[in-house]
Structure 1
Amino acid sequence: MIGRWHGLVIDCPDPRALAEFYEKLLGMVRVQDEPDWVVIGDAPDRPGVAFARVKTWRPPAWPGESAHMHFDVRVDDREAAGEKVLALGARRLEGGGETFDVYADPAGHPFCLVAW
């Protein structure tokens, strides 16, 4: 092993706003909060998700451009979960399948709601 996973960093125009969206989506808490850098997770000493301010942020043009990575969020009821993420500021994207629906977070990053 070379190292340990510390976190995933997501570029965005407003770290605090996007962190709030993912706190509600994933049930995490804010463990670090600065104007240009916010981290959410289970606890300060465990890996988390960080949000970094990028002034020139441009979301990928889904589905034509790849997002390179995205969250898959497991849910029990895709329809109910979809209504909740839309109420948080997400928007539905093209695509999806028998077991997943594709959305964009408020900054435009794609993510999927997945149910088996």
Structure 2
Amino acid sequence: MRARIDEIVFDCADPAALARFWAGLVGGEPVRRSPDWSYIDLPADEPGKFSNRLAFQRVPEGKAVKNRLHLDLLAEDIPAFSAEAVALGATLSGSVVTDEAGSFQVLLDPEGNEFCFVSGA
């Protein structure tokens, strides 16, 4: 038997606001299920389908340390995608790093969760 990922859940202070940010970044419509829970269904290549769900749940404590897990988002033009993310409320963390595997830019969402824009070599 194998389990499958049902959804990826972010702990946060403001689920509705974080759902709007991520929907602006990756697509999908933010859904506010309750004051403590919002989500977006990530668009799939097939119309009318979704590939996975990002969910956002309210927790009482703030983020204290670096995430042990983060999302890498494929971006053809890292500076352009980064500028759009900053306009939505993200913060750059360092500069673009390039090595033999490609390039990446670390950013923080409005609640400080790390994510990266990446592109291949």
Distance change in 2, residues 1:83/1:32 (3 Å)? same
For 1:63, the equivalent position in structure 2 comes to none
Identity in percent: 34
Letter in 2 for 1:73: L
User: For structure 2, which runs of at least 5 residues remain unmatched after alignment?
Assistant: none
Displacement of 1:81: 0.6
Deviations 1:76-106 (A, max 9, x none): 1011111100000000113652100000000
Higher strand share: 2
Calculate the TM-score normalised by the size of structure 2. 0.81
What does residue range 37-56 of structure 1 map to in structure 2 within 5 Å?
37-41=37-41, 42=43, 47-56=52-61
Is the 1:89–1:105 Cα contact (8 Å) retained in structure 2? yes
For 1:78, the equivalent position in structure 2 comes to 78
For 2:109, the equivalent position in structure 1 comes to 105
Is the 2:106–2:116 Cα contact (8 Å) retained in structure 1? yes
- Supply the RMSD in Å over aligned alpha carbons: 2.1
Displacement of 1:27: 0.9
The range that moved more, 43-52 or 82-91, is: 43-52
Question: The residue matched to 1:69 in structure 2 has which SS?
Answer: coil
For 2:7, the equivalent position in structure 1 comes to 7
Runs of 4+ in 1 over 3 A off after TM superposition: 42-47
Query: In structure 1, what is the Cα distance between the partners aligned to 2:87 and 2:64?
Result: 20
